[in-house]
Amino acid sequence: MKDEQITIYIDNQPIEAQKGDNLLQVARDNKIPVPGLCYHKKLSPTGACRLCVVKIEGQRGVVMACTVTIDEPMRVTVFDEELESARKQTLNYLLAEHDDTTDNTYEDELAFWAEKYDLSDPERRSYPSILSAVGAKKDDTSPVLTYDAGKCIKCFRCIKACDEVQGKNVLSFASRGITSYIVAGLDMWSESECDGCGECVQLCPTGALVERPHRQELRLDKIEKKVRTTCPYCGVGCQLELWIQDGKIVRSNGVEGVSPNDGRLCVKGRFGLDFVSSPHRLTTPLIKKNGIFVEASWDEALDLIATKFSAIKQQHGGDALAGYSSAKCTNEDNYMFQKFIRMAFGTNNIDYCTRLCHASTVTAMLRSIGDGAGSNSIEDFATTDCLFVTGNNIIETHPVTATYVKNGKYNGNSIIVCDPKWTPLVKYADIWLQPRLGTDVALLNGMMHVIINEGLVHQRFIRERVDRGMETFEELKILVEKDTPAYTEEITAVPKDKIIAAARMYASAPTAMLATGMGLSQQVTGTNNVFSLINMMLITGQIGKERAGIDPPRGQNNVQGATDVGCSPIIFPGYIPVDDDDNRKRVAAIWNVPVESLSAKAGLTTVEIINAAYDEKIKGMYIMGENPMLTDPDLNHTEKALKKLDFLVVQDIFHTDTTPYADVILPASSFAEKEGTFVNSDRRVLRVRKALEMPGEAREDWHIVQEIGRRMHVDLGNFTHASDIFDEMAKTAPIFGGINYQRIEYKGIQWPCPTAEHPGTRTLFVEKFNTPNGKAKLNPVAYVAQAEKPTKEYPFILNSGRILYRYHTATMSRRNKSLTAFAN
Ligand code: SF4
Ligand code: SF4
Ligand code: FES
């Protein structure tokens, strides 16, 4: 039994351990400094460096502590003369073939132990160096790292980091004996499948593998501070430790031991942050005068904005104004922005990029299970028995979540990939379903036909947890009756045997999760696709328990948070509909405004806002950190609409494709220059911390919003720090009710967390769904042939997708040499 407590003795000191614990780890956790270089608690033990030798009473000889699993009481000797002498001898061997020179750019555990054992000075060592005879292979072909065999102690940590943590299997040893060295792929790093995640670098103990970017300038003794924060790229929300030197980020490490990444990063989080100190950052407000942008003071810019917006409101009403908030900004920025739109403009015309990616998924999830957020935790991707990934290129879009998926695969869990095009995850899939574009509903209905026919339906779950229970199930059953595997194959082109196998695999797994994505939602039938998926989940009872449910990983870093805090035309902070009178009264009291001043009318979505601008009904817009001139589906239409606006403000950190259409451009702060929070894909509220000063006159987004509000005679709150905004947000949005900055100082909390005592919610829907009666709803949908069919005139279907090295509109990722080197 893993949890059984055992008392062991280490150098006569009694220590409590649990059965199954690693002896070396237990010793170190109890502050016993057992030497060792090849062990890392994230990796399986190797026993390669032989520094952790110990004696265990009753066992012959010495053993490596890192290879011992505690399963019975034991008496261990860590330090005695014989063991210390053996360690010193081992270090002597390692140092004889080691290059001691250092450029002070990496932390060197071997040098640390050499000093402890008085071997720093070569004169004090037992053996002369044989380094020149061995020869030190070097590889500096990777854009992001260098390898130097002269510093390599062959500890296996990099190989295991690549295999066991990141699941990539790129590294191995070449050659034999003391001339062996680490090789990526068949030979050179640049020719290998290495995608630059840098896990190997982070876990290398000796400086054999070192980051390449900033190596020329980085010096350990010049590092001013190390700041923990949250990655600004995707919705995984990886925890970073930024190393700051000379006012710049010179290194980014993953933070070990905390969710969601436990030290893991992808190439963007580790090597993609140079955009912050790009010389192209916006540094001063710009006002367009006679068609040319000229620098302006903040007062001039803010006064102009307030005057113009106020005039439009007075002349055309608040509904003639609209705002786009940003999935890249913090919750605090977004909260202030929606408050501004609702209080200063007096409208609910607020939306952002989520409308064009996740809205159909969220719509289906809200109607079926009452919540659009992911059910599970990111770590659950490693432990669910079966993962069904559909329309989601997870390895490139959410690389660290994908590492957990691969961990699960290596642990024997099953993966079904459903995608018309090949994605890297196909290599790991047990079954790859490759339906014709637009036939998802047909495929899912076909799978449900098999599930029903083979008696794999979870009847108790349907009776207890689904609205109208078996009655609604019967309707679904009738609907899919005709969808036999053969019929489904005809429509989808997926062989019927695969349809049957996938249906069995998903339905009969003890636990199964669905990872859906843009491929499913960005279709005319997007909402129906997700309804079908949820139907399959509900009739098999693959939700409402740990490691089961539906998870649409969020694209950008704070897509989840921006909606959570109310950047939506139909909901207030905390997902409460704008027409809920009681909530409006409650919010009006918190915001200290008359309830009548808060509109109960649903606002316009992004698509509707652009259409209304085109129709000259929207006259003024405020865009914070969005780039519709690249993200909108019909750019000609968007361009015409933006040109028709009387007044446009764009607030960003760079010039974008949208800024040329602005009347005023405001320079904002990047993630590294402000305090705040993001919410990641598993609803985890994570801290963002200020590591750097803003360039030039740039300001924090929420602060700019607050200032415009003040000039429009609207009091958005006398906030001086982001934490004050969070505290108000926690009052306004009950899902954050129990969270504050103190509670998330060390690790994030997953909402809902309604009270100060609540630990947060790891898995949604375990007891009930978020619908009015607590039950889920089946929404049977029939297959309808795709509207976007090839024609003679347009014979191709173009399908968009992501690559690992680029992000969103590439505003940030394009400004990094390392990412560009990989992308090209
Ligand atoms: S490169 Fe580093 S991590 Fe890899 S075997 Fe050599 S010393 Fe160990
Ligand atoms: S997986 Fe996402 S959050 Fe993590 S480092 Fe990469 S881009 Fe950043
Ligand atoms: S740490 Fe145990 S053998 Fe290396």
Q: Please, what is the end-to-end C-alpha distance for the chain in angstroms? A: 51
Q: Ligand 1 mean position to 160 CA, how many Å?
A: 10
Please state at what angle helix 722-732 crosses helix 581-591, rounded to 10 degrees: 150
| Closest ligand relative to 686 C-alpha | 2
User: What pLDDT is attached to residue 822?
Assistant: 84
More confident position, 750 or 354: 750
Distance CA 293, CA 664 (A): 8
Q: Ligand 3 mean position to 65 CA, how many Å?
A: 7
Of all protein residues, the one whose alpha carbon is nearest to atom 2 of ligand 2 is: 234
pLDDT digits over 309-349, tens only?
A: 999 999 999 999 999 999 999 999 999 999 999 999 999 99
Q: Which atom of ligand 3 is nearest to the CA of 67?
A: 2
State if residue 812 touches ligand 2 by the CB under 6 angstroms criterion: no
pLDDT digits over 662-685, tens only?
A: 999 999 999 999 999 999 999 999
Of all protein residues, the one whose alpha carbon is nearest to atom 5 of ligand 1 is: 154
Distance CA 624, CA 654 (A): 12
Among the residue ranges 75-84, 133-142, 723-732, 784-793, the one predicted with the least confidence is 784-793
Q: For tokens 């509707």, what's the residue?
A: 608
The first and second tokens of residue 477, run together, are 């059953």
Q: Ligand 1 mean position to 133 CA, how many Å?
A: 20
Distance CA 330, CA 465 (A): 36
The first and second tokens of residue 723, run together, are 């934490």
Report how far Cα 211 is from the mean position of its chain's Cα atoms: 22
User: Is 2's pLDDT higher than 60?
Assistant: no
User: Is 354's pLDDT higher than 80?
Assistant: no
Q: Ligand 3 mean position to 38 CA, how many Å?
A: 5
User: Is 228's pLDDT higher than 90?
Assistant: yes
The band of 99, judged by pLDDT with boundaries at 50, 70 and 90, is very high
Amino acid at 7: T
Of all protein residues, the one whose alpha carbon is nearest to atom 4 of ligand 2 is: 238
Of all protein residues, the one whose alpha carbon is nearest to atom 1 of ligand 3 is: 36
Residue 96's H or E segment, with its range, is helix 81-96
User: What pLDDT is attached to residue 816?
Assistant: 85
What mean pLDDT is reported for the chain? 94
Say if residues 192 and 174 touch (Cβ distance below 8 Å): no
User: What pLDDT is attached to residue 786?
Assistant: 79
Of all protein residues, the one whose alpha carbon is nearest to atom 4 of ligand 1 is: 158
What DSSP character marks residue 165?
I
Say if residues 42 and 199 touch (Cβ distance below 8 Å): no
Q: What is the mean pLDDT of residues 234-242?
A: 97
Q: Which atom of ligand 1 is nearest to the CA of 200?
A: 3
- Ligand 1 neighbours by CB, cut-off 6 Å: 152-158, 182, 204, 206, 208-209
Q: Which atom of ligand 3 is nearest to the CA of 48?
A: 3
User: What pLDDT is attached to residue 464?
Assistant: 97
Q: Which atom of ligand 3 is nearest to the CA of 36?
A: 1
- Angle at the Cα of 533 (from 529 to 534), degrees rounded to 5? 115
* Residue to mutate, 28, 66, 156, ligand 3, most ligand atoms under 8 Å from C-beta: 66
Q: Ligand 2 mean position to 232 CA, how many Å?
A: 8
The 3-state secondary structure of 173-201, one letter per residue? EECCHHHCEEEECCECHHHCCCCCCCHHH
The band of 1, judged by pLDDT with boundaries at 50, 70 and 90, is low
Amino acid at 323: G
Q: Which atom of ligand 2 is nearest to the CA of 400?
A: 1
User: Is 375's pLDDT higher than 80?
Assistant: yes
Q: Which atom of ligand 2 is nearest to the CA of 232?
A: 8
Distance CA 656, CA 665 (A): 10
Q: Ligand 2 mean position to 235 CA, how many Å?
A: 7
- Output the CA–CA distances (angstroms, integers) from residue 762 to 257, 516, 534, in the order listed: 17, 19, 20
Q: Which atom of ligand 3 is nearest to the CA of 34?
A: 1
- CA-based torsion, 633, 638, 639, 640: positive or negative: positive
User: Is 358's pLDDT higher than 80?
Assistant: no
Of all protein residues, the one whose alpha carbon is nearest to atom 6 of ligand 2 is: 266
* Residue to mutate, 113, 151, 182, ligand 1, most ligand atoms under 8 Å from C-beta: 182
Q: Which atom of ligand 3 is nearest to the CA of 65?
A: 2
Say if residues 164 and 411 touch (Cβ distance below 8 Å): no
Across 595-705, the runs of DSSP E, i.e. the strands, are 620-624, 647-652, 664-667, 676-679, 684-688
Of all protein residues, the one whose alpha carbon is nearest to atom 3 of ligand 3 is: 47
Q: Ligand 3 mean position to 353 CA, how many Å?
A: 49
Distance CA 612, CA 317 (A): 14
Of all protein residues, the one whose alpha carbon is nearest to atom 8 of ligand 1 is: 155
Give the full edge-to-edge strand order of the sheet including 647-652. 292-295, 286-289, 664-667, 647-652, 620-624, 321-324, 350-351
The first and second tokens of residue 604, run together, are 């316009």
Q: Which atom of ligand 1 is nearest to the CA of 207?
A: 2
* Residue to mutate, 22, 28, 41, 46, ligand 3, most ligand atoms under 8 Å from C-beta: 46
State if residue 269 touches ligand 2 by the CB under 6 angstroms criterion: yes
Closest CA to 53 of 15, 87, 17: 87
| Closest ligand relative to 24 C-alpha | 3
pLDDT digits over 455-490, tens only?
A: 999 999 999 999 999 999 999 999 999 999 999 999
Closest CA to 568 of 364, 770, 348: 348
Say if residues 562 and 354 touch (Cβ distance below 8 Å): yes
Of all protein residues, the one whose alpha carbon is nearest to atom 6 of ligand 1 is: 152
Residue 299's H or E segment, with its range, is helix 298-316
Q: Which atom of ligand 3 is nearest to the CA of 46?
A: 3
Q: Ligand 2 mean position to 653 CA, how many Å?
A: 20
User: What pLDDT is attached to residue 814?
Assistant: 81
Distance CA 643, CA 610 (A): 11
Q: 483 CB contacts (<8 Å, ≥6 apart)?
A: 442, 445, 446, 448, 449, 783
Q: 586 CB contacts (<8 Å, ≥6 apart)?
A: none
| Closest ligand relative to 195 C-alpha | 2
Percent of the chain with pLDDT over 90: 87
Give the full edge-to-edge strand order of the sheet including 209-211. 138-139, 145-148, 209-211
Say if residues 583 and 575 touch (Cβ distance below 8 Å): no
| Closest ligand relative to 205 C-alpha | 1
The first and second tokens of residue 285, run together, are 């407000």
Residue 351's H or E segment, with its range, is strand 350-351
Percent of the chain with pLDDT over 70: 100
pLDDT digits over 740-793, tens only?
A: 999 999 999 999 999 999 999 999 999 999 999 999 999 999 999 877 788 899
Q: Which atom of ligand 1 is nearest to the CA of 38?
A: 8
Say if residues 17 and 4 touch (Cβ distance below 8 Å): no
Residue 761's H or E segment, with its range, is none
What DSSP character marks residue 672?
G
Q: Which atom of ligand 2 is nearest to the CA of 230?
A: 3
| Closest ligand relative to 157 C-alpha | 1
Q: What is the mean pLDDT of residues 175-188?
A: 88
Q: What is the mean pLDDT of residues 610-637?
A: 94
DSSP sequence for 605-629? -HHHHHHHHHTT---EEEEES--HH
State if residue 65 touches ligand 2 by the CB under 6 angstroms criterion: no
- Ligand 3 neighbours by CB, cut-off 6 Å: 36-39, 47-52, 64, 66
User: What pLDDT is attached to residue 560?
Assistant: 92
Give one word for 628, left, alpha or beta, with left for phi > 0 and alpha for psi -120 to 50. Answer: alpha
Q: Ligand 2 mean position to 38 CA, how many Å?
A: 27
User: Is 531's pLDDT higher than 60?
Assistant: yes
Say if residues 410 and 424 touch (Cβ distance below 8 Å): no
Q: What is the mean pLDDT of residues 44-70?
A: 95
* Residue to mutate, 25, 26, 34, 37, ligand 3, most ligand atoms under 8 Å from C-beta: 37
User: Is 799's pLDDT higher than 80?
Assistant: no
Of all protein residues, the one whose alpha carbon is nearest to atom 2 of ligand 1 is: 204
The band of 453, judged by pLDDT with boundaries at 50, 70 and 90, is very high
Say if residues 244 and 223 touch (Cβ distance below 8 Å): yes
The first and second tokens of residue 697, run together, are 């006159």
Q: Ligand 2 mean position to 272 CA, how many Å?
A: 10
Q: Per this entry, what is the length of the chain?
A: 824
Q: Ligand 2 mean position to 449 CA, how many Å?
A: 38
User: Is 810's pLDDT higher than 80?
Assistant: no
Distance CA 19, CA 7 (A): 10
User: Is 809's pLDDT higher than 80?
Assistant: no
* Residue to mutate, 328, 400, 558, ligand 2, most ligand atoms under 8 Å from C-beta: 400
State if residue 255 touches ligand 2 by the CB under 6 angstroms criterion: no
The band of 556, judged by pLDDT with boundaries at 50, 70 and 90, is confident
Say if residues 447 and 506 touch (Cβ distance below 8 Å): yes
Q: Ligand 3 mean position to 206 CA, how many Å?
A: 14
Strands 286-289 vs 664-667: parallel, antiparallel or unpaired = antiparallel
| Closest ligand relative to 197 C-alpha | 2
State if residue 400 touches ligand 2 by the CB under 6 angstroms criterion: yes
Q: What's the predicted TM-score (pTM) here?
A: 0.94
| Closest ligand relative to 682 C-alpha | 2
- Partnered with residue 221 across adjacent β-strands are none
* Residue to mutate, 38, 51, 98, 157, ligand 1, most ligand atoms under 8 Å from C-beta: 157
- How many C-alpha atoms does 745 have within 13 Å on its Cβ side? 2
Torsion of CA 46, 50, 54, 58, to 10 degrees: 70
pLDDT digits over 140-169, tens only?
A: 999 999 999 999 999 999 999 999 999 999
Q: Ligand 3 mean position to 138 CA, how many Å?
A: 25
